[in-house]
Amino acid sequence: MKDAEQMTALTAKALSISKSSVLVCSTGRIGVPMPMRNVERGIRECAPVIARSTINARQTAEAIMTSDTRRKEIAVEFRIDNATVRIGGICKGAGMIQPGMKHATMLGFITSDVAIESTLLERALEIAVEQSFNRITVDGDMSTNDSVIMLANGQAKNSKVESRKSKGLETFQNALNHICLELAKMIVRDGEGVSRFITLHVRGAHSVRDAEAAARAIANSSLVKTSWCGGDPNWGRILCALGYSKAKVDESIVDVGYARPGSREILFGFKRGQPANLSLQKLGKITSGKEFDIHVDLNLGRREFVMYASDLTENYVAFNKGDVSDPKSLGG
């Protein structure tokens, strides 16, 4: 806390703003104090070169990378009334990814020039995060530092969004949802050691809570994830994960299907509680792709949940096990 307070004081002084206007985010090895001498030097050197430009935005996206292999950035432009409004976002994250933010290590920063009442902005961000960052997993570990921050300055000069009935709120929400979901997917695709990206649809649940419990059990199962690494559909492991989840499940009516990304053509490996008459080779043609969808229908209700997940590879283990004789190799 003392280090965090020092960071806010240094930044506030360097930018001539109040300490209450500074927000602190952190990433690194858990339990090890920040190298404050380096942090202080970085703040002093970066503050004078802050400017409104694409180059600076990209340099910031690069500066926050740790085990990431590429920048994660996106921007959109749309209209509210007769005003052009912009939203831009950057984030970082590759390991320790299963965010659970009420309001991802994963850090996300989103800015907009929209004119909007602050409580509505907070609510809009909560909705967007719930549908995006809170639905991804690489390794099932939630970081100690997951954060998503959004700032808006009102310079678009649109008619201010001041109530849930305000014109433009739906347009703004849709744009923000898109920004957050695309950034979240970038994190999974760039996850440590990741070789496959999976969109997991769980439908037919008795409740949303059951649908989420089922999806998270499947998406975080080490056995399921390693089978994905090998391109093995292995619906048996998926059923196993369903069985130990807290979801209400009747295995005699469950369906498990596979599809190419976004395709409506689903090949079922397991249908109504019985193995389908499909060869492993046919299913394997789908699951050997870099990206594919899995559809699980519990056939117990109308609730559903979507998660975006990755496989678990040898490279993930090699990257994260570290070597105590080489402190630089040790992760967070």
- For the annotated catalytic residues, the residue numbers are 105
* Alpha carbon distance 145, 18 (integer Å): 23
User: What's the token pair of residue 316?
Assistant: 């993930």
Residue 200, Cβ neighbours under 10 Å: how many? 22
Q: Which residues contact 297 (CB under 8 A, 6 or more apart)?
A: 202, 203, 204, 254, 255, 257
Instruction: List helix spans (H) across the chain.
Output: 2-15, 36-46, 54-63, 118-130, 169-189, 208-220, 222-229, 235-244, 280-287, 314-321
Cα(207)–Cα(92) distance, integer angstroms: 32
Show the beta-strand stretches assigned E in 73-214: 73-80, 83-92, 107-112, 136-137, 147-152, 197-205
CB of 102 closer than 8 Å to CB of 131: no
Cβ contact 19:12 at 8 Å = yes
Give Cα separations from 15 to 18, 150, 183 (angstroms). 9, 19, 28
251 alpha carbon, distance to own chain's centre = 30
Residue 96: other Cβ atoms inside 10 A: 25
Tell me how far apart the alpha carbons of residues 232 and 234 are, in angstroms, rounded to a whole number.
Answer: 5
